[in-house]
Amino acid sequence: MNSYTQLLYNNIIWVSLLAWFIAQLLKVILTLIFKKKLDIRRLVGAGGMPSSHSALVVSLATSVGSLEGYDSPIFALAFTFSLIVMYDAAGVRRAAGKQAAVLNEILDQIHTKRSIPEEKLKELIGHTPVEVIAGALLGFIVSKLFC
């Protein structure tokens, strides 16, 4: 079996991508419910509930653990990778989003006094801890259902 065929039949990849897609689809649905706005861009956008990053990496780790054993070195790698991604989503990227909000407020204040080009920064790039946990739970459930 060649490399492309092996990649195509790698169930762990497909289950992980399914968890990511479900999380992204839930963002569209939740935006529609709570903001009464159909925002298809949420299918690919970062940030929001639930964390698709967390869903993907937890699904990956859970699938690897189910197939290779939770005491295997490859599970340890996937688990550690998951922790790093979730920490980044809730920590570093969340802080960057808060900084973007402050800079956008400064731009708003400057813009009201002078006519300057205005390019707002993307503020929704990180996750709250609840969004990360929700994404992790989603990834775990998808992995258990499909792997």
Q: How many CB atoms lie within 10 A of CB 89?
A: 26
Average pLDDT over the chain, rounded to an integer: 86
The pair of structure tokens assigned to 125 is 């790039």
Q: pLDDT: is 115 or 40 the higher one?
A: 40
Q: Is the confidence at residue 117, as pLDDT, over 60?
A: no
- Whether 1 maps to a domain, the answer reads no
- Whether 51 maps to a domain, the answer reads yes
- Whether 7 maps to a domain, the answer reads no
The pair phi, psi for residue 39, each rounded to 5°, is -120, 90
- Whether 36 maps to a domain, the answer reads yes
pLDDT value of residue 29: 95
Asked whether the CA dihedral 82, 126, 140, 56 is positive or negative, the reply is negative
CA-nearest of 147, 131, 146, 145 to 55 is 131
pLDDT value of residue 121: 55
- Whether 105 maps to a domain, the answer reads no
Q: Is the confidence at residue 23, as pLDDT, over 80?
A: yes
Mean pLDDT for 25-47 is 89
Number of domains in the chain: 1
Query: By residue range, what is the domain housing residue 137?
Result: 12-91+126-146
